[in-house]
């Protein structure tokens, strides 16, 4: 009986299916045959075309291996290109998104500054101060207007303040510009 543990050549022949036909079928031979029957597909994989297509697509991709990154040797350090101030400005304002972000940032900064100075219109200042207060930022609240509105001191608003002699707004139709 062949000792496959000791004899590499015989084991190689067994693996490659070139064992003598009269060689005894012992446990090792049976195991190798069963394993190969089990795992090695007899037919080409049904996924072969899909895999070959994936390989084809991958070949078309630009590859970034250590030997070629953008056609350069990656081991040689490359200095970052210097950019002029004008280039930086054009980068920042170059796209519509960047412009929108710039406008939003400008609005936020200017609104914040006005809110800090208490210079916003009353309702806006009140809302901003309340929102800022919830996150611990203390902004001036429109005190005078509040005192004018809450005449009872109970915290219940009575009515919007209006100049004496002006009629109250109609409950069904209200215009921000009376008389127009």
Could you list the residues that contact another protein (CB under 8 A)? 4-6, 8, 11-12, 15-16, 25-28, 30-41, 44-48, 50-52, 54-56, 58-59, 61, 63, 65-68
Quote the least distance from Cβ 49 to another protein, whole Å: 11
Is the four-CA dihedral 97, 98, 102, 105 of positive or negative sign?
Answer: positive
Quote the least distance from Cβ 7 to another protein, whole Å: 10
Among residues 50 and 83, whose Cβ is nearest to another protein? 50
Among residues 14 and 120, whose Cβ is nearest to another protein? 14
Quote the least distance from Cβ 142 to another protein, whole Å: 56
Between CA 119 and CA 124, with CA 120 as vertex, the angle to 5 degrees is: 150
Give 28-63 as a 3 state SS string: HHHHHHHHHHHHCCCCCCCCHHHHHHHHHHHHHCCC
Among residues 54 and 88, whose Cβ is nearest to another protein? 54
Q: How far is CA 149 from CA 42, 143, 164, in A?
A: 89, 10, 14
Among residues 46 and 171, whose Cβ is nearest to another protein? 46
* Alpha-carbon gap, residue 140 to 130, rounded angstroms: 10
């Amino acid at each position: 009986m062949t000792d496959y543990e000791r004899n590499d050549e015989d084991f190689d022949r067994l693996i490659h299916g070139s064992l003598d036909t009269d060689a005894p079928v012992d446990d090792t031979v049976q195991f190798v045959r069963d394993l190969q029957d089990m795992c090695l597909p007899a037919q080409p994989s049904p996924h072969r075309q899909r895999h070959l297509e994936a390989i084809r697509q991958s070949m078309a991709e630009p590859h970034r291996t250590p030997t070629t990154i953008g056609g350069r040797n990656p081991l040689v350090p490359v200095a970052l290109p210097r950019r002029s101030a004008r280039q930086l400005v054009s980068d920042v304002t170059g796209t519509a998104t960047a412009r929108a972000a710039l406008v939003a940032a400008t609005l936020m900064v200017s609104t914040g500054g006005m809110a800090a100075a208490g210079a916003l219109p009353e309702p806006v200042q009140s809302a901003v101060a309340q929102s800022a207060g919830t996150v611990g930022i203390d902004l001036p609240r429109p005190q005078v207007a509040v005192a004018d509105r809450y005449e009872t001191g109970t915290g219940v608003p009575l009515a919007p303040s209006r100049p004496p002699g002006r009629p109250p707004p109609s409950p069904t139709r209200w215009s921000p510009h009376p008389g127009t």
